[in-house]
Amino acid sequence: PNHYFGFAIGMMVMGGALASGGFDQGSFNPAVTLGVNVANYANGQRAASPCAGAWLLFLLAPLAGGALAAAVFRGTRGSEYAAAEQAAAAPAAQPDTKRRDVDAAGKTEV
């Protein structure tokens, strides 16, 4: 594992925000986009709220992107999943629950 994953994700979001800064309705968080659009629609500011096609795009595109990212991750890191599945399928070692008493001479009695 690399400790720079969080930094890389933050830089990607910042790069996306800078690249689309001049465009209207840039969406990087579907929950925030949904909240803003519902608030605009509920307050009668329908002009500020996008059309139905844009709502679908803003809500479904991140889900499709997440599914695609999961598929790519699974495809590129499949060996890690195989190792984890084999470890999960192997019987777990049972702990030794027998009580053992040690006498003063250091001998163990069961």
Concatenate the DSSP letters of all residues of 71-96 into one string.
Answer: HHHHHHSHHHHHHHHHHHHSPPPPP-
Q: What is the pLDDT of residues 27-77, one digit of tens each?
A: 777 787 778 778 877 887 666 667 778 777 877 888 899 999 999 988 998
State the pTM of this model. Answer: 0.48
Count CB-CB contacts under 10 A for residue 40. 15
Q: What is the pLDDT of residues 67-104, one digit of tens each?
A: 999 999 889 988 887 777 787 777 766 666 666 666 66
